[in-house]
Amino acid sequence: MELTFLGTSASTPTVFRSLPAIALRLDEGSTILFDCGEGTQRQMMRCGTSFMNVDKIFISHFHCDHHLGLSGLLQTMNINSRENQIDIYGPEGIEELVKNILKTGYFKLGFDLMVHTLKDCDRVSRGNYSVECRENNHCKNSLAFAIEEKPRRGKFYVEKAKNLGIPPGPLYRRLQEGETIVLNGKRIEPNMVLGPPRKGRKVCYSGDTAYCENVIELARESDVLIHDSTFSDDMKEEAGKFGHSTATDAAKVAKAAKAKKLFLFHISPRYNHAKVLENEAKKIFENSTVAEDFMKYRIRYKD
């Protein structure tokens, strides 16, 4: 799994930050987009992230900066002869948004586009992963998302296998794949050489939100939490007024959720040097980083 930050600004772009969009490349090869601000297709081109591999797009809410890139992206997929279906997910209103986009775009798609309306606690289960959503604390019809891989097989204990007299080779693989084998007339079950199933990797994206208990629940023990961090502490009041978080809020959520890594995201254009936000967050949650456009982050298995 690899994250690419395609746009990290808030409300308006800046010279260095494009509007919100995050690509998550899955091991199976497809890419999920979280939000799709204006300019997303070009940001993908600029950092070599294939837009043709995108097969699911999750839109957190309907403020302009989070979805204006959809129309151009769909159009460019079309020009490039896309045939595979694309699925767009979002809170109530997503159908109307997509309808308007197709109307304003003056084009006909040559591939299927499915729109899915999500509400609090909905879970989308696909292939090897699921995406859960929770209402956050920003505006009406605004969601946070968490994608989590299904549990994977437990660890293979070579010593246990050796003690059972299993020779290294194809039998190891069969046991790892969950098959019971018979060796010298003895049945060997996978659980005799495997540890318990291990949790899959988990990434949570808060969307735009003020500090929110739902996001803490959703982000529980995630490998990565990408959280609204529009302002620094000196703009605490402004943040609350507009349903946004400070870097401190984001760090508190990461700490309470026991996340492993926090990316501060949705940075107000007022911060030319966003390290001030990172420094604030680090006081509460050490593993904090300000997301920058084109930053990539590989999410590895921890065990």
Active-site amino acid positions: 65
Residue type, 35: D
Please, what is the minimum distance in Å from the beta carbon of residue 111 to its own copies?
Answer: 16
Please, what is the minimum distance in Å from the beta carbon of residue 249 to its own copies?
Answer: 22
Residue with structure tokens 């050489």?
Answer: 193
Q: Compute the distance between CA of residue 54 and CA of residue 33 in angstroms, rounded to an integer.
A: 7
Please, what is the minimum distance in Å from the beta carbon of residue 107 to its own copies?
Answer: 6
Phi, psi of 36 (to 5 degrees): -155, 70
12 vs 191 by CB, closer to its own copies = 12
Phi, psi of 59 (to 5 degrees): -105, 125
Contact footprint for its own copies (CB under 8 A) = 11-15, 18-19, 38-39, 41-42, 45-46, 62-65, 68-69, 71-72, 75-76, 79-80, 97, 100-101, 103-107
β partners of residue 113 = 86
Give yes or no for a contact between 4 and 35, defined as CB atoms under 8 angstroms apart. no
Please, what is the minimum distance in Å from the beta carbon of residue 298 to its own copies?
Answer: 23
Give yes or no for a contact between 28 and 53, defined as CB atoms under 8 angstroms apart. no
Residue with structure tokens 């990461």?
Answer: 254
Q: How far is CA 220 from CA 248, 256, 300, in A?
A: 18, 8, 18
Q: In this structure, what token pair is assigned to residue 40? A: 């997303």
SS3 262: strand
Give yes or no for a contact between 207 and 235, defined as CB atoms under 8 angstroms apart. no
Q: Compute the distance between CA of residue 131 and CA of residue 111 in angstroms, rounded to an integer.
A: 23
Q: Compute the distance between CA of residue 219 and CA of residue 226 in angstroms, rounded to an integer.
A: 9
17 vs 261 by CB, closer to its own copies = 17
Please, what is the minimum distance in Å from the beta carbon of residue 72 to its own copies?
Answer: 4
